[in-house]
Amino acid sequence: MPMEFRFARMGSCSPRFLSEKLLLTTIVGYQLFSGLILAFFSIDFMIPCLFKTVLHVECWGCGLSRAAIDVVLLNWGEAYRRNPIIFLVLAIAIFSVKKSVKKRLN
């Protein structure tokens, strides 16, 4: 089995994958970067919710990024106040990571 195939099969972020998924990589990178800046330096330059801006109604995702930041900072109550769905997302993320690690080890 060629080395490149094994590297891509392991699910790691190869340069080829990142270039093929440029839009997704840019959005995820921006969210991570702006979230870290908000969490550690209290500088907010996150993109506002388009749904809320146009329709003036909270969507199911409003506050999810800030709730994730609160989870990282262990502010459980504040995370729940911002968006209770964060705990469902967190459970799904933990399950997905656990399943992925288990699959790689077998």
Q: What is the pLDDT of residue 8?
A: 44
Chain Cα centroid distance, residue 40: 17
Domain ranges of the chain: 3-105
Q: pTM of the predicted model, to two decimals?
A: 0.57
Question: Which sign does the torsion angle of CA 35, 36, 39, 42 carry?
Answer: negative
- In 3D space, the residue among 59, 60, 62, 68 whose CA is nearest the CA of residue 94 turns out to be 68
Q: What is the pLDDT of residue 58?
A: 74
- Say if CB 86 and CB 105 are below 8 A apart: no
- Say if CB 97 and CB 85 are below 8 A apart: no
Q: Could you list the mean pLDDT of each consecutive 10-residue stretch along the chain, which spans 106 residues?
A: 46 68 82 85 81 81 84 91 91 89 82
